[in-house]
Structure 1
Amino acid sequence: MKIAIVGAGIAGSSCGQALQARGHVVSLFDKGRGAGGRMATRRVDGPDGDVSFDHGAQYFTARDPAFGAQVEQWAAAGIVAAWPAAGEDAWVGTPGMNALVKAITVDLDVTWGSKVDAIRHVDGGWLLGPVSDTRFDAVIVATPAEQAGPLLVAHDPAMAAIAQACPSAPCWTAMVAFEDRVAIAGDIVRDNGIIGWAARNSAKPGRGGREAWVVQATPHWSRDHLEEAADGVVDALLSALATEATQPLPAAVLRIGRRWRYAKVAAVRDGALWDPARRIGAVGDWLLAPRVESAWLSGRMLADRIGPA
């Protein structure tokens, strides 16, 4: 089949890779400018060179045997590395978290910067508006649940209802580079006041360079301050980070606020959704659990259901 996938994050790209291996012709469309999604890595021009921030998922684990085998292959290729500071089973992409999506999509047909506003069922096939005039035999929605529901509702209300029952918690994130090292002994801060997670990004494997931190607010605080200006949010998160330091924070040479409206999902356990009669489906971590591993597995599950060409 000629299959369109809306969303080229971990779930969409994993599904696309597996379907292509089964002989299908796969095209992915993603609104982002490049590989990442919630595995995003941002590189910013600093005063003395680029500064890197993993401002989405901070690390991932590999507990499923199939995903564990894939991670071992990525590790052998230098695409991922263990990060013991976050846990015995913690891994990160190298040199950024988006390395995973880049690796999966390298042999796939992906159109970046293409936001699909609607899908239409026409003459037994599918059209994606406004990004493509191609008629596809099947369509798979691989976006966060809140974005999947509106795309699915006109074609499969039951599928859309499952997506609508999986709300995601928001997350405000601060990305800050400093003149000097922040006086915190470890590289990670967890559950400190309004901070849900903070990490010395420059200490992750394959990074280095200028002192750089990613500070993520708790879901509750993020929800309460969702519409506030980014500068004020960054100020609040830096004040919280300062309470962990034994000395005043060094001067910030770069500071960016990023609001994730759909960060951590309350998942159901369907794994993947597929209507073989109309050839429409959905994948994502919201169908298993809020983990990178779950997004990858969801994509593979749907490819297994669709089967070979």
Structure 2
Amino acid sequence: MQIAIIGAGLAGLSAANALVTAGHTVGLFDKARGPGGRMSTRRTETERGLAFFDHGAQYFTARDPGFAAEVARWEAAGSAARWPAAGEGAWVGTPGMNAIIKGLAADHAVQWNCRIESLSREGALWRLKHADGTETADAVIVAVPAEQVADLVAAHRGEWAELAQATRSQPCWTVMAAFGSRVDFAGDCLRTEGAIGWAARNSAKPGRTGPESWVVQGSPAWSTEHLEDDAETVIALLLAELAAALGCELPETIAVQAHRWRYAMSGSAGRTAVWDGSLGLGLCGDWLVGPRIESAWVSGRALAGLVLAG
């Protein structure tokens, strides 16, 4: 079959790998400018060179045997490494979290900066509309956050749209700060301290280079409360929280910025993947399973299995 996958994150790419291996032709479409999504890495020029920030997912674990085998392949390829500072079994992409998505996407035909606006059924084919025209496919996989699912599938499987609408993500404000000298704190990670849900010395992760760099993420509750604040306000508040939590004065910042994730931590619909073989339409993503990177991969691979099973 010719299969279109909307969303080239880990779920969509996991499904694509399995389907291509089985002999299907796959095209992926993603509204982002390039690979990364919630596994993005940002780089910023500073007076001390490039600073790098994993401003989405900070690390991942591998409990599912299939995913653990996949991670072992990433490690062998140099795109993943263990990060003990985050806990036993923690992994990160190297030299940035987005290295994993970049590596997977390189093996597929991905149209970046391509937002699929609607899906329509024409005879035995699906038609996917985007700003520059249309695409056709025998089957469609929707691998986007829950909040973006309903508009695509409501006309075809209303109960799937309702499932997605009932499974909401939590937001997250993230501050990225590079400093002129080392922050005077013995550890490299901080969890759940007041407004902070997570903070880490990003420059201490395996394979990182550049100046002292920290990522500070607001807790879900704090980020919800301050969701519509401007970036400057969020930066000031979270850096003050970081200094208080670490118990030290922060060095001079040489670069700082903030990013608002409206859909940061997925919910859980209690499913793995859903597939309607008569329509040739399916859903996958971490929101079906739970808020972990591994969940996205497991969901995509599970949906591919349902497609291949007929």
Report the TM range for the smaller structure's normalisation. over 0.9
Q: Structure 2: which amino acid aligns with 1:52?
A: F
Cα pair 2:48 2:210 within 8 Å, conserved:
no
Partner of 2:283: 282
Tell me the number of residue pairs that the alignment of Structure 1 and Structure 2 aligns. 309
Q: Deviation digits for residues 10-58 of structure 1, max 9, x if unmatched?
A: 0011111111111111000111111101001111222232211000000
Number of the residue aligned with 2:72: 72
Query: After superposition, where does 1:1-309 map in structure 2 within 5 Å?
Result: 1-130=1-130, 131-307=132-308
TM-score by length of 2: 0.97
Q: Which has the higher mean CA deviation after the structures are superposed, 113-122 or 88-97?
A: 113-122
1:158, 1:96 → 2: CA distance? 38
Give CA-to-partner distance per residue, 1:134-162, whole Å, 9 cap, x none. 21111111000001122111111011111
TM-score by length of 1: 0.97
Give the Cα separation in 1 of the matches to 2:309 and 2:108: 17
Distance 1:290 1:231 in 2: 28
Runs of 4 or more, structure 1, over 3 Å off, are none
| Alpha-carbon shift at residue 126 of structure 1 (Å) | 1.3
Worse-matched range after superposition: 166-175 or 264-273? 264-273
Over aligned residues, Cα RMSD in angstroms? 1.2
3-state DSSP of counterpart to 1:135: strand
What is the SS of the residue equivalent to 1:277? coil
Residue ranges of structure 1 left out of the alignment (5+ in a row): none
Moved more, 98-107 or 187-196: 98-107
Indicate the SS of the match to 1:61. Answer: coil
Q: Identity, % of aligned pairs?
A: 52
Change (3 A) 1:132 1:291: farther
Per-residue deviation, 1:308:
7.2
1:157-197: CA deviation from partner (whole Å, max 9, x where unpaired): 01111111110000000001011111111000111110000
The CA distance in 1 between the partners of 2:248 and 2:260, in whole Å, is: 28
**Paired amino acid for 1:50:** L
**Is 115-124 or 62-71 further displaced after alignment?**
115-124
Q: State the one-letter code of the partner of 2:260.
A: R
Structure 2 portions without partners, runs of 5+: none
After TM superposition, give the deviation of residue 265 of structure 1 in Å. Answer: 1.5
In 2, Cα distance between equivalents of 1:291 and 1:247:
32
